[in-house]
Structures are given as structure tokens and as C-alpha cells.
Structure 1
Amino acid sequence: MYGSYHHRQRRKPMGEINVVPFIDVMLVLLVIFMITAPMLNQGVDVELPQVSSDPIDTEEQEPLIVSVDREGQYFISLGDEETPVALDELGEKVKAMLSRNANTPVMVRGDRNVAYGQIVTLMSTLQGSGVGNVGLISEPPSGEE
């Protein structure tokens, strides 16, 4: 008979952790990041010229980047904000951004297929807005890093 005097066997606590659900979640996250990483194309699609040069150290402050894409459109980006802008408004916007912090480095990203005159016009506009030093962004040749 099974009465109130019957003692159940107690289970011993298990000293192992089941890591299978953790591994499943990690594999799913790995697949998601592998798929989305190539899609994270930051900035304007610009095909930079490839030249050998020493990198400029801009770690102390994030630079103001002015880009010219293949179609000749201008973009201003400071950090993650990227806004298209017309050339006649570009000088005023750069001057306003530099008035907040005058030590902000200014860099130009120009597509290799853009006419040289357009880059010179951009640099002249930047100079007219009070930028004394302009850096040019390029990519290292295919075999170098």
C-alpha cells in the first residue's frame, strides 16, 4: 500500500549545466552577423583612388568628412550623420560645424571618376569657409595594408 508513510526518492542535484541552448543561440547570432556584416556599407558609395601614403592620426577627434560621389553630389558627414548638400550651401554648413569646434579635422573623399576641377572647386569652397588644412582620403593599393 502506498500510504502517507511512503517515502519518495529525492533526486540529487545535477552538477552539470546544459549548454546546448546557449550554443544554439550563439550559432543563430553568428549567422545573422555573417549575413548582415557585408550589408553595412558606411557612407556614400565612393570609389577612392589607390595610392601609397602614411595614414593620418585622427584618433583624438572625429573628422568632418566631405564626400563627392560618382555623380558629383556632395555629402557632409560628422560621425554617423551624413547629409547631402549643394555646393553653394556647403561652405556655410562647414563654417557652422567648425564654429562649434575649430580643431575638427576636415577630410575630402572624392570618387576617382570625378573631374579634378570639381575637387579643386570643393577645396576652394572649404578654404573660403575658414578651413586651413584639408586632408584627402584614399585607399591603399590592393596588395598593401
Structure 2
Amino acid sequence: MYQRKKRRPVAEINVVPYIDVMLVLLIIFMATAATITHGVDVDLPKMEQSELVETKEAPPIIVSINAQGKYFASIGIDPEAEMDAIDIAAQVKLALDKNPKTPVMIKGDGRVSYQEVLLLMDFLKRAGVPSVGLMTESFEN
């Protein structure tokens, strides 16, 4: 007679399906994390001893807003001349077409409304500015 060998039960856990599930979840989270971020990308300067790093290629374009909400730009014929936001966006677009690596900075008065700064940032974004820096003054100790 043929006698069967008794098999011992295997007490190991097969973790391969769990690894597959974890990799799928990782891919899903990585794909959705990129789409969750909202808003305008802004490179905010630090408040303590922040310095404007000037590139050798071009000085930064500085767009200013005074306390009355009037706009000025460091480019163009007269940097002291008041401009509206559409003209500033057009001037910045022309400057960026010549040199796309030119940094763009917003210098806003502390008393200007936050809405005015956001409107200017929106005009600059529509003009093709990839990122906007906000200028601040450092604290004096």
C-alpha cells in the first residue's frame, strides 16, 4: 500500500499581496498630492535678514504699490511714472520675452490692501510670470 506523507501546515504569511496594495496606494497618493495644491506659487522672502539674490543675467523687475494703490514698475522709460496694472503686465511680459530668467518682485506699502496685491499678482501671472517674490524690510535690532 502507498502511504501518503503528511504535509505540515505552513505558518508563514504571504506578504506579496500586501506589498502590491501598498505600492498601488503610494502611486495614488503621489498622483493626488500634486493636484491638491491650490493658489498662486509665490516665493515669500524671509523676514529676518533676507537678501535679494541678483542674477548676473538681469536685475530684478520691481513692481511697487503705494499706500493709495497706485502701481509703479522699475522697467520702462520712467520708473517714477504711475502705471495701471494692464500696462505693467504688458511691460513685464516684454521684459520676460527678452530674458525669461528675470526675477519679478512686488514691493507693496504696508497700508495697501491685500486685495490690491493679489490683483497685481493675478495680472502678473496672466502675463506669464512663473513666480513672484514679495519684498519686505528686515527688522532693526
Q: Specify the TM-score bucket, using the shorter chain as the normaliser.
A: 0.5 to 0.7
Name which of 68, 73, 78 aligns with 1:76: 73
**Aligned match of 2:64 in 62, 67, 83?**
67
Q: Deviations over 1:99-137 (max 9, x none)?
A: 121111101000000000100110111010000111111
Letter in 1 for 2:106: V
* Aligned-residue offset at 1:98: 1.4
Name the TM-score, length of structure 1 as normaliser. 0.58
Contact residue 66 and residue 107 of structure 1 kept, 8 A: yes
Gaps of 5+ in 2: 1-45
Report the equivalent of 2:87.
89
Matched ranges for 1:14-53 at <5 A: 51-52=47-48
- Comparing 100-109 and 80-89, the one that deviates more: 80-89
Amino acid at match of 2:52: I
Task: Label 1:62 to 1:87 Cα distance change in 2 as closer, same or farther (>3 A).
Answer: same
| Whole-Å separation in 2 of the counterparts to 1:52 and 1:80 | 33
User: Aligned to 2:106, what secondary structure does the other structure show?
Assistant: strand
Partner of 1:116: 114
TM-score (norm 2): 0.60
* Structure 1 stretches lacking a partner, 5+ long: 1-49
Aligned amino acid, residue 108 of structure 1? I
Distance 1:134 1:140, change over 3 A: same
**SS of residue matched to 1:117:** helix
CA RMSD, 1 decimal: 2.2
Extract structure 1 runs of 4+ deviating beyond 4 A: none
Residue-pair matches, total: 94
Aligned equivalents of 1:69, 1:116: Cα separation in 2 = 12
